[in-house]
């Protein structure tokens, strides 16, 4: 099975300058070690996934700050094809449906999103992510080079492995919201990795003190089903957690619960 057969194409109507800005943001973040994307397509998917997994209210706030192209007076729109994994495409559709159900209609504040479609949501997600990169760069991004850099997927001693986290869907959503609100320059997966690294670096006494302050996540309702999500992290991160797991088998979940409890920003 090819990589393309595992993705889904979707047409995005946007000002051509947006994708110039996307390439500039990706190039700057890679050159400064501020993202773990391996290509522009990977950077785009991460940005869209981050936005789609926000709560409805937080996503609405982003939409008001970065309205899609249909609401930009005098803007030009041209079709641009992006490839998304089936999981991300489904999350975009679910987010779009939730937004329309909650905010469409004449009583909704700001632009009426009754006609919102996946393209609109994607444009807002990319505009917001470019703005995040611009803030990190001091306000202005340098133009992207003609040949975009590609971050190596792995180097000697830095192979990546998967770690799985099973928790109520509300817990996963709270983590996504915390990451988005922290304005962290790290991608969500890199932020998860930084959390696990910080937990592993603590002493046994510090972890014991932390465990006394939080509780492991429990479902909030019958509809709050447990969801299993996997993250690619450096093998070194996974190995650092193994000695802790011998006494605390749920140490990965504990690390994430600790991050949610403290609410600290990891850079």
Domain residues of the chain, as ranges?
7-136, 162-262
End-to-end Cα distance, the chain: 37
pLDDT at 13: 84
CA dihedral (208, 166, 237, 133) in degrees, to 10, reads -110
Q: Is 76 helix (H, G, I), strand (E, B) or coil?
A: coil
pLDDT at 67: 82
pLDDT at 153: 46
Give pTM, 2 decimals: 0.58
Region of residue 217 (phi > 0: left; psi between -120 and 50: alpha; otherwise: beta) = beta
d(CA 172, CA 195): 14
Close Cβ partners of 49 (under 8 Å, ≥ 6 residues apart) = 88, 91, 188
Structure tokens at 204: 């046994």
pLDDT at 33: 73
d(CA 200, CA 241): 6
- Best CA proximity match to 28, nearest among 126, 145, 186, 122: 145
Burial of 174 (0-12, 13-18, 19+ CB in 10 A): middle
pLDDT at 163: 86
- Best CA proximity match to 99, nearest among 46, 44, 62: 62
Per-residue pLDDT for the chain (267 aa), expressed as one digit of tens each? 334 445 788 888 888 889 999 999 998 888 877 777 788 888 998 899 888 888 888 888 888 888 876 655 455 667 888 888 888 888 898 888 888 887 766 655 555 565 678 888 999 999 999 998 898 888 888 888 877 776 544 433 457 788 888 899 999 888 888 888 776 677 888 889 889 999 999 898 999 999 999 888 888 888 888 888 888 888 888 888 988 988 898 999 999 999 988 875 444
Q: What is the DSSP string of 145-209?
A: PSS-----S--TT--EEEEEEEEEHHHHHHHHHHHHHTT-SS-HHHHHHHHHHHHHHS-HHHHHH
d(CA 135, CA 138): 5
β-strand partners of 80: 12
């Amino acid at each position: 099975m090819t990589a393309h057969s595992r993705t889904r194409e979707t047409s995005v109507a946007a000002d051509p300058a947006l994708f110039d800005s996307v390439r500039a943001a990706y190039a700057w973040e890679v050159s400064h070690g501020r993202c773990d994307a391996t290509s522009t397509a990977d950077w785009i998917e991460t940005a869209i996934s981050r936005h789609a997994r926000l709560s409805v209210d937080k996503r609405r706030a982003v939409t008001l700050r970065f309205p899609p192209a249909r609401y930009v007076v005098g803007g030009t729109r041209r079709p641009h094809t992006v490839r998304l994994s089936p999981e991300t495409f489904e999350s975009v559709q679910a987010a779009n449906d939730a937004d329309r159900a909650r905010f469409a209609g004449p009583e909704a504040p700001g632009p009426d999103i009754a006609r919102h479609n996946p393209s609109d949501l994607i444009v807002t997600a990319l505009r917001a992510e470019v703005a995040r990169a611009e803030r990190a760069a001091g306000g202005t991004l340098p133009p992207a080079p003609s040949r975009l850099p590609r971050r190596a997927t792995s180097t000697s001693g830095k192979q990546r492995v998967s770690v799985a986290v099973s928790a109520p869907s509300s817990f996963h959503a709270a983590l996504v919201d915390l990451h988005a609100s922290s304005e962290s320059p790290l991608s969500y997966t890199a932020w998860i990795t930084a959390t696990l690294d910080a937990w592993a670096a603590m002493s046994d006494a510090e972890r014991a003190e932390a465990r006394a302050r939080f509780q492991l996540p429990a479902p909030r309702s019958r509809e709050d089903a447990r969801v299993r999500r996997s993250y690619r992290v450096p093998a070194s991160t996974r190995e650092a957690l193994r000695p802790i797991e011998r006494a605390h088998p749920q140490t990965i979940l504990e690390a994430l619960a600790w991050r949610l409890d403290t609410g600290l920003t990891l850079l």
